[in-house]
Amino acid sequence: MFLKHFENIINENIEGDGEGWTIIDTFGGSGLLSHAAKRIKPKARVIYNDFDGYAERLVHIDEINALRSQLYAAVGNATPKNKRMTKECKAELVKIIQNFDGYKDLNCLASWLLFSGQQVATLEELFQHDFWHCVRQSDYPTAGGYLDGVEVIRDSFHTLLPKFADNPKALFVLDPPYLCTRQESYKQATYFDLIDFLRLVNITRPPYIFFSSTKSEFVRFIEYMQEDKVDNWQVFENATRIVVNASASYSGKYEDNLVYKF
Protein backbone atom coordinates (compact mmCIF):
# COMPACT_ATOMS: atom_id res chain seq x y z
CA MET A 1 0.00 0.00 0.00
CA PHE A 2 2.94 2.32 0.55
CA LEU A 3 4.73 1.57 -2.72
CA LYS A 4 3.60 4.74 -4.49
CA HIS A 5 4.52 6.86 -1.45
CA PHE A 6 7.90 5.11 -1.30
CA GLU A 7 8.58 5.89 -4.96
CA ASN A 8 7.49 9.52 -4.56
CA ILE A 9 9.74 10.05 -1.52
CA ILE A 10 12.76 8.65 -3.33
CA ASN A 11 12.10 10.71 -6.46
CA GLU A 12 11.62 13.89 -4.42
CA ASN A 13 14.84 13.44 -2.42
CA ILE A 14 17.25 11.64 -4.75
CA GLU A 15 18.01 13.44 -7.98
CA GLY A 16 18.28 11.90 -11.41
CA ASP A 17 19.07 8.22 -11.78
CA GLY A 18 20.50 7.87 -8.27
CA GLU A 19 24.17 7.80 -9.20
CA GLY A 20 26.35 8.02 -6.08
CA TRP A 21 23.58 6.81 -3.77
CA THR A 22 23.30 3.55 -1.83
CA ILE A 23 19.82 2.32 -0.91
CA ILE A 24 19.83 -0.35 1.81
CA ASP A 25 16.70 -2.48 2.06
CA THR A 26 17.57 -3.57 5.57
CA PHE A 27 14.72 -6.01 6.20
CA GLY A 28 14.32 -7.11 2.61
CA GLY A 29 11.34 -9.44 2.85
CA SER A 30 10.12 -10.22 -0.66
CA GLY A 31 12.56 -7.76 -2.23
CA LEU A 32 9.75 -5.52 -3.45
CA LEU A 33 11.31 -2.31 -2.13
CA SER A 34 14.70 -3.27 -3.58
CA HIS A 35 13.08 -4.00 -6.93
CA ALA A 36 11.23 -0.67 -6.89
CA ALA A 37 14.30 1.32 -5.82
CA LYS A 38 16.46 -0.15 -8.58
CA ARG A 39 13.77 0.48 -11.18
CA ILE A 40 13.33 4.17 -10.35
CA LYS A 41 17.01 4.89 -9.51
CA PRO A 42 18.88 2.51 -11.83
CA LYS A 43 22.37 3.87 -11.11
CA ALA A 44 22.01 3.69 -7.34
CA ARG A 45 23.63 0.82 -5.49
CA VAL A 46 20.69 -1.13 -4.10
CA ILE A 47 21.39 -3.67 -1.33
CA TYR A 48 18.73 -6.29 -0.61
CA ASN A 49 19.31 -7.83 2.81
CA ASP A 50 17.59 -11.15 2.22
CA PHE A 51 17.64 -12.45 5.77
CA ASP A 52 14.72 -14.83 5.17
CA GLY A 53 16.06 -16.40 1.98
CA TYR A 54 13.33 -15.11 -0.32
CA ALA A 55 15.69 -15.03 -3.30
CA GLU A 56 16.12 -18.78 -2.93
CA ARG A 57 12.35 -19.22 -3.17
CA LEU A 58 12.32 -17.25 -6.41
CA VAL A 59 14.88 -19.63 -7.92
CA HIS A 60 12.58 -22.59 -7.19
CA ILE A 61 9.28 -21.26 -8.56
CA ASP A 62 9.03 -24.12 -11.09
CA GLU A 63 9.27 -26.72 -8.30
CA ILE A 64 6.81 -24.80 -6.11
CA ASN A 65 4.37 -24.81 -9.02
CA ALA A 66 4.90 -28.54 -9.59
CA LEU A 67 4.01 -29.37 -5.99
CA ARG A 68 1.03 -27.01 -6.10
CA SER A 69 -0.27 -28.81 -9.17
CA GLN A 70 -0.04 -32.20 -7.47
CA LEU A 71 -1.81 -30.99 -4.35
CA TYR A 72 -4.58 -29.26 -6.26
CA ALA A 73 -5.22 -32.34 -8.36
CA ALA A 74 -5.34 -34.54 -5.27
CA VAL A 75 -7.91 -32.36 -3.51
CA GLY A 76 -10.08 -32.28 -6.63
CA ASN A 77 -13.73 -32.01 -5.70
CA ALA A 78 -13.28 -33.93 -2.44
CA THR A 79 -13.25 -30.71 -0.43
CA PRO A 80 -15.02 -27.47 -1.39
CA LYS A 81 -12.83 -24.40 -1.71
CA ASN A 82 -11.95 -22.78 1.65
CA LYS A 83 -13.39 -25.70 3.63
CA ARG A 84 -11.74 -28.08 6.08
CA MET A 85 -10.38 -31.27 4.50
CA THR A 86 -11.30 -34.74 5.66
CA LYS A 87 -8.69 -36.77 7.49
CA GLU A 88 -8.35 -39.00 4.42
CA CYS A 89 -7.76 -36.06 2.11
CA LYS A 90 -5.23 -34.53 4.48
CA ALA A 91 -3.36 -37.85 4.74
CA GLU A 92 -3.10 -38.04 0.96
CA LEU A 93 -1.69 -34.52 0.75
CA VAL A 94 0.81 -35.17 3.54
CA LYS A 95 2.03 -38.21 1.61
CA ILE A 96 2.41 -36.14 -1.59
CA ILE A 97 4.45 -33.51 0.26
CA GLN A 98 6.66 -36.10 1.93
CA ASN A 99 7.34 -37.91 -1.34
CA PHE A 100 7.90 -34.79 -3.43
CA ASP A 101 11.49 -34.80 -4.67
CA GLY A 102 12.01 -31.08 -4.98
CA TYR A 103 11.91 -27.74 -3.19
CA LYS A 104 9.22 -27.48 -0.51
CA ASP A 105 8.32 -23.93 0.35
CA LEU A 106 6.82 -23.81 3.82
CA ASN A 107 5.30 -20.36 3.38
CA CYS A 108 3.39 -21.44 0.29
CA LEU A 109 2.29 -24.70 1.86
CA ALA A 110 0.94 -22.85 4.90
CA SER A 111 -0.98 -20.42 2.71
CA TRP A 112 -2.48 -23.28 0.67
CA LEU A 113 -3.32 -25.69 3.48
CA LEU A 114 -3.83 -23.86 6.78
CA PHE A 115 -6.63 -21.70 8.07
CA SER A 116 -6.15 -18.07 7.12
CA GLY A 117 -3.16 -16.41 8.78
CA GLN A 118 -1.74 -19.49 10.48
CA GLN A 119 2.04 -19.79 10.33
CA VAL A 120 4.38 -22.66 11.09
CA ALA A 121 8.13 -23.10 11.39
CA THR A 122 8.55 -26.70 10.17
CA LEU A 123 6.83 -29.32 8.02
CA GLU A 124 6.26 -31.40 11.14
CA GLU A 125 4.35 -28.50 12.69
CA LEU A 126 2.39 -28.06 9.46
CA PHE A 127 1.26 -31.69 9.55
CA GLN A 128 -0.10 -31.25 13.08
CA HIS A 129 -2.74 -28.77 11.92
CA ASP A 130 -6.05 -29.36 10.22
CA PHE A 131 -5.82 -28.81 6.45
CA TRP A 132 -8.10 -26.43 4.59
CA HIS A 133 -8.61 -26.28 0.84
CA CYS A 134 -6.95 -22.96 0.04
CA VAL A 135 -4.68 -24.42 -2.63
CA ARG A 136 -3.90 -21.89 -5.32
CA GLN A 137 -5.66 -22.73 -8.59
CA SER A 138 -2.95 -21.47 -10.95
CA ASP A 139 0.85 -21.42 -11.11
CA TYR A 140 2.94 -18.55 -9.82
CA PRO A 141 4.52 -16.50 -12.62
CA THR A 142 8.26 -16.71 -13.12
CA ALA A 143 10.44 -13.98 -11.59
CA GLY A 144 12.99 -13.43 -14.32
CA GLY A 145 14.68 -10.02 -14.00
CA TYR A 146 12.99 -9.20 -10.70
CA LEU A 147 16.27 -8.60 -8.84
CA ASP A 148 18.48 -7.63 -11.78
CA GLY A 149 21.17 -5.18 -10.68
CA VAL A 150 20.37 -5.62 -6.98
CA GLU A 151 23.04 -6.81 -4.52
CA VAL A 152 21.66 -9.71 -2.49
CA ILE A 153 23.28 -10.18 0.93
CA ARG A 154 22.35 -11.86 4.23
CA ASP A 155 23.47 -9.89 7.28
CA SER A 156 22.12 -8.75 10.63
CA PHE A 157 20.93 -5.16 10.60
CA HIS A 158 23.14 -4.19 13.55
CA THR A 159 26.30 -5.12 11.65
CA LEU A 160 25.06 -3.93 8.22
CA LEU A 161 23.87 -0.40 9.00
CA PRO A 162 26.94 0.85 10.91
CA LYS A 163 29.04 0.21 7.78
CA PHE A 164 27.13 3.06 6.08
CA ALA A 165 26.45 5.29 9.08
CA ASP A 166 28.83 8.04 7.93
CA ASN A 167 27.69 8.07 4.31
CA PRO A 168 25.16 10.91 3.80
CA LYS A 169 24.08 9.31 0.51
CA ALA A 170 23.23 5.95 2.06
CA LEU A 171 19.47 5.68 2.53
CA PHE A 172 18.32 3.33 5.29
CA VAL A 173 15.08 1.64 4.25
CA LEU A 174 13.71 0.11 7.46
CA ASP A 175 10.71 -2.21 7.32
CA PRO A 176 11.31 -4.49 10.33
CA PRO A 177 8.91 -7.07 11.72
CA TYR A 178 6.41 -5.14 13.77
CA LEU A 179 7.20 -5.11 17.47
CA CYS A 180 4.62 -6.82 19.72
CA THR A 181 3.24 -8.96 16.87
CA ARG A 182 3.54 -12.67 16.05
CA GLN A 183 6.68 -13.47 14.06
CA GLU A 184 6.63 -17.23 13.41
CA SER A 185 7.30 -16.71 9.72
CA TYR A 186 10.79 -15.37 10.41
CA LYS A 187 13.81 -17.64 10.47
CA GLN A 188 14.64 -17.03 14.13
CA ALA A 189 12.19 -16.91 17.01
CA THR A 190 14.02 -13.85 18.37
CA TYR A 191 14.65 -12.30 14.94
CA PHE A 192 13.21 -8.95 16.03
CA ASP A 193 12.47 -8.62 19.71
CA LEU A 194 12.43 -5.59 22.02
CA ILE A 195 16.22 -5.45 22.28
CA ASP A 196 16.57 -5.48 18.50
CA PHE A 197 13.97 -2.73 18.20
CA LEU A 198 15.84 -0.51 20.65
CA ARG A 199 19.12 -1.26 18.91
CA LEU A 200 17.63 -0.35 15.53
CA VAL A 201 16.15 2.92 16.80
CA ASN A 202 19.51 3.92 18.28
CA ILE A 203 21.48 3.34 15.07
CA THR A 204 18.92 4.98 12.80
CA ARG A 205 19.96 8.28 11.27
CA PRO A 206 18.81 10.38 8.29
CA PRO A 207 18.25 9.73 5.51
CA TYR A 208 15.84 6.95 6.39
CA ILE A 209 12.41 5.61 5.48
CA PHE A 210 10.88 3.70 8.40
CA PHE A 211 7.75 1.58 8.08
CA SER A 212 5.59 0.57 11.02
CA SER A 213 2.02 0.15 12.21
CA THR A 214 -0.26 0.93 15.13
CA LYS A 215 -0.22 -2.84 15.64
CA SER A 216 3.25 -2.16 17.08
CA GLU A 217 4.49 0.47 19.52
CA PHE A 218 6.83 2.30 17.14
CA VAL A 219 4.96 5.60 16.81
CA ARG A 220 4.25 5.85 20.53
CA PHE A 221 7.88 5.05 21.27
CA ILE A 222 9.35 7.79 19.07
CA GLU A 223 6.84 10.25 20.53
CA TYR A 224 8.07 9.30 23.98
CA MET A 225 11.70 9.68 22.86
CA GLN A 226 11.08 13.22 21.66
CA GLU A 227 9.02 14.25 24.68
CA ASP A 228 11.59 13.01 27.17
CA LYS A 229 14.66 13.72 25.01
CA VAL A 230 16.06 10.22 25.43
CA ASP A 231 18.60 8.26 23.43
CA ASN A 232 18.55 9.00 19.70
CA TRP A 233 15.52 11.33 19.81
CA GLN A 234 16.98 13.99 17.48
CA VAL A 235 16.85 11.78 14.38
CA PHE A 236 13.06 11.58 14.65
CA GLU A 237 12.52 15.28 15.30
CA ASN A 238 10.58 16.94 12.44
CA ALA A 239 10.32 13.65 10.56
CA THR A 240 7.41 13.35 8.13
CA ARG A 241 4.74 10.74 8.79
CA ILE A 242 2.36 9.24 6.23
CA VAL A 243 -0.60 7.19 7.46
CA VAL A 244 -2.60 4.63 5.52
CA ASN A 245 -5.70 3.03 7.03
CA ALA A 246 -5.74 -0.74 6.68
CA SER A 247 -7.72 -3.73 7.89
CA ALA A 248 -6.94 -7.39 8.44
CA SER A 249 -10.66 -8.19 8.75
CA TYR A 250 -14.02 -6.48 9.02
CA SER A 251 -13.38 -5.53 12.64
CA GLY A 252 -9.57 -5.55 12.68
CA LYS A 253 -8.75 -2.04 11.49
CA TYR A 254 -5.39 -0.37 12.09
CA GLU A 255 -3.01 2.26 10.71
CA ASP A 256 0.13 1.60 8.74
CA ASN A 257 2.77 4.28 9.09
CA LEU A 258 5.67 5.49 7.02
CA VAL A 259 8.06 7.87 8.78
CA TYR A 260 10.91 9.45 6.83
CA LYS A 261 13.57 12.11 7.07
CA PHE A 262 16.26 13.28 4.68
Same domain, 47 and 62: no
Q: Evaluate whether residue 146 is within a structural domain.
A: no
Same domain, 158 and 215: yes
Phi, psi of 199 (to 5 degrees): -65, -45
Per-residue tens of pLDDT for the chain, all 262 residues: 789 999 999 999 999 999 999 999 999 999 999 999 999 999 999 999 998 889 999 999 999 999 999 999 999 878 899 999 999 999 999 999 999 999 999 999 999 999 987 889 899 999 999 999 999 999 999 998 999 999 999 999 999 999 999 999 999 999 998 765 444 444 545 567 888 889 999 999 999 999 986 566 788 888 999 999 988 999 999 999 998 876 555 555 667 889 999 9
Same domain, 176 and 253: yes
Q: Evaluate whether residue 186 is within a structural domain.
A: yes
Cα-Cα-Cα-Cα dihedral sign, residues 164, 144, 30, 18? positive
Please give the residue range of the domain that contains residue 81: 58-127
pLDDT in tens, 226-239: 999 988 999 999 99
Phi, psi of 82 (to 5 degrees): 65, 25
Same domain, 176 and 239: yes
Q: Evaluate whether residue 137 is within a structural domain.
A: no
Same domain, 250 and 158: yes
8 Å CB contact between 64 and 105: yes
Same domain, 158 and 252: yes
**Domain at 241, CATH number:** 3.40.50
Q: Evaluate whether residue 239 is within a structural domain.
A: yes
8 Å CB contact between 119 and 182: yes
Same domain, 89 and 205: no
Same domain, 225 and 172: yes
Q: Evaluate whether residue 143 is within a structural domain.
A: no
Q: Is the peptide bond before 207 cis (omega within 30 degrees of 0)?
A: yes
Same domain, 123 and 174: no
Domains of the chain: total:
2
Contacts of 35 (CB under 8 A, 6+ apart): 146, 147, 150
Same domain, 177 and 237: yes
Same domain, 41 and 92: no
